[in-house]
């Protein structure tokens, strides 16, 4: 999140959140929609990362916490994907880039919270894959292992979650992963140093409950037996990694501060935000594709809980189920995690559904980015930078650097440490992106190649 004062990385989202007390403040059940094609709309933009397994969230002063999520219905939201059962996901050479979506079925974790492994094949022309596990509301999940053809060099070391660091984040894994609530996504590669090797891969998951520790302390973890639905999205290209891509945005409006699908296309603040988003992403060869304006019927104008069973975040994110392929951005008045003992202090400007968020499907408990549209006394709210920063998390980027005392940096070597000009710096005030960050974003299934 982006709040106005620094909080413990381990405790910001370590407690379950109660349901919103503002359930009556819902947007009208409108169904208006406007689509702006490439070139006719502008792009807009602007979290520490998910050490406690929460969503990607950002603070005005830079304190934040991230995580990841994915859809639980297994539906194929990609117009370029193949059969969701994966029957032809790896069938021979292809002539154009495409996305294959494969339903890997449901795994059952045992009393120790560990699922059996699931096996899948990555074809020779794959440039990336996104693996998602979805479980129950209020239950945290992390990938327990991810092993490619070279078993001696696992992408995510089996059993890492039982180490001293706990299951919140694997800093020592070749592919950095952070646990999340209800669903977790993993993008490979999420660093230029990770080489995607075709062939047989296996993965497993770990499910658990998490409650807050003492102030500044690590949360308490209790393994739980749960079902985990697993979805694989493979990005394939006969040309290798694209140099130029587009990202489609589904902009959802709750009526917060008068913004609706009808008014936003001509609203100067919204269009300035989109222009700032577009400017930031243009640096890495990513343009705006379709920008679609939609009213979110039943969506809460205010988010008062971002974690916990049936949180405001989850209730509103699930309303995006009918959205076309793209990143869902929901605009609300304010975001306050009132059920967290520390979350009620400060102002949250933005929060993402994960690092990365769901791909290949819509309508999960974490299938959205939320952005506050309200101005707060003494707190600048650059909606464009907030939207760009949180979308960066959703597409797979960790903070380039966390708050100084944490000493944490992302796994991408060409992001300078403590560079306040980087879009993904914890304070979220810069707009720069490195070539390595660009490769990660262009590897995400929601980002469409437009040129070899």
371 pLDDT more than 80:
yes
380 pLDDT more than 90:
no
Q: What pLDDT sits at residue 325? A: 95
Percent of the chain having pLDDT more than 70?
Answer: 77
Q: How many CB atoms lie within 10 A of CB 20?
A: 23
Q: Which residue has the higher pLDDT, 434 or 346?
A: 434
Average pLDDT of every residue of the chain: 81
Report pLDDT digits (tens) over 117-165: 999 999 999 999 999 899 999 999 999 999 999 999 999 999 999 988 8
Q: Check: CB of residue 169 under 8 Å from CB of residue 176.
A: yes
Structure tokens at 440: 């990660």
Q: What pLDDT sits at residue 216? A: 57
Average pLDDT estimate for 255-271:
96
pLDDT band with cut points at 50, 70 and 90 for residue 252: very high
Report pLDDT digits (tens) over 316-325: 999 999 999 9
pLDDT band with cut points at 50, 70 and 90 for residue 89: low
Q: Which residue has the higher pLDDT, 96 or 46?
A: 96
Structure tokens at 405: 């005392």
Average pLDDT estimate for 358-377:
90
Report pLDDT digits (tens) over 204-223: 999 999 987 655 567 899 99
Report pLDDT digits (tens) over 15-49: 222 222 233 332 333 335 555 544 433 333 334 45
Helix 383-394 vs helix 268-282: crossing angle, to nearest 10: 50
Q: What pLDDT sits at residue 358? A: 84
Q: What pLDDT sits at residue 192? A: 96
Q: What is the pTM (predicted TM-score) of this model? A: 0.83
Which of 268-272, 378-382, 391-395 is predicted with the least confidence, judged by mean pLDDT? 378-382
What distances in angstroms separate CA 41 from CA 55, 253, 267, 290, one per listed residue? 28, 16, 12, 8
- Domains of the chain as residue ranges with CATH: 33-71+242-451 (3.40.390), 98-236 (2.60.120)
């Amino acid at each position: 999140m982006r709040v106005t004062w620094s909080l413990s990385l381990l405790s910001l989202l370590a407690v379950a959140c109660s349901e919103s007390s503002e359930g009556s403040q819902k947007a009208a059940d409108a169904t208006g929609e406007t689509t702006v094609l490439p070139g006719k709309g502008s792009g807009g933009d602007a979290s520490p990362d998910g050490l406690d397994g929460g969503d990607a969230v950002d603070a005005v002063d830079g304190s934040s916490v991230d995580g990841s999520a994915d859809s639980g219905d297994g539906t194929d939201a990609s117009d370029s994907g193949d059969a969701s059962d994966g029957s032809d996901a790896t069938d021979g050479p292809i002539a154009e880039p495409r996305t294959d979506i494969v339903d890997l079925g449901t795994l059952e974790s045992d009393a120790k919270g560990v699922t059996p492994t699931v096996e899948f094949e990555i074809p020779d022309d794959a440039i990336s894959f996104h693996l998602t596990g979805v479980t129950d509301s209020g239950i945290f999940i992390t990938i327990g292992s991810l092993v490619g053809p070279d078993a001696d060099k696992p992408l995510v070391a089996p059993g890492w979650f039982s180490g001293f660091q706990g299951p919140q984040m694997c800093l020592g894994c070749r592919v950095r992963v952070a646990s999340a609530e209800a669903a977790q996504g993993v993008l490979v590669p999420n660093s230029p140093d990770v080489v995607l090797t075709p062939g047989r891969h296996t993965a497993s998951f770990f499910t658990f409950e998490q409650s807050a520790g003492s102030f500044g302390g690590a949360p308490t973890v209790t393994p739980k037996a749960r079902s985990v639905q697993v979805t694989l999205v493979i990005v394939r290209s006969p040309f290798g990694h694209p140099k130029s891509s587009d990202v489609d945005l589904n902009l959802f409006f709750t009526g917060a501060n008068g913004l609706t699908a009808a008014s936003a296309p001509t609203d100067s603040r919204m269009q300035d935000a989109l222009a700032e988003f577009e400017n930031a992403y243009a640096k890495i060869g990513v343009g705006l594709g379709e920008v679609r304006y939609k009213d979110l019927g039943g969506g809460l104008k205010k988010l008062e809980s971002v974690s916990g069973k049936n949180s405001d975040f989850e209730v509103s994110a699930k309303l995006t189920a009918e959205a076309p392929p793209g990143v869902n951005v929901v605009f609300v008045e304010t975001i306050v995690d009132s059920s967290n003992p520390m979350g009620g202090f400060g102002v949250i400007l933005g929060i993402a559904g994960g690092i990365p968020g769901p791909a290949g499907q819509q309508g999960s408990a974490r299938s959205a980015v939320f952005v506050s549209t309200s101005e707060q006394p003494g707190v600048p709210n650059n909606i464009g930078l907030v939207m760009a920063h949180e979308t960066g998390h959703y597409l797979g980027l960790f903070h380039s650097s966390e708050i100084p005392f944490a000493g944490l940096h992302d796994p991408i070597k060409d992001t300078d440490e403590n560079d306040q000009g980087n879009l993904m710096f914890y304070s979220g005030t810069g707009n720069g992106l490195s070539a390595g960050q660009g490769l990660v974003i262009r590897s995400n299934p929601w980002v469409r190649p437009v040129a070899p």
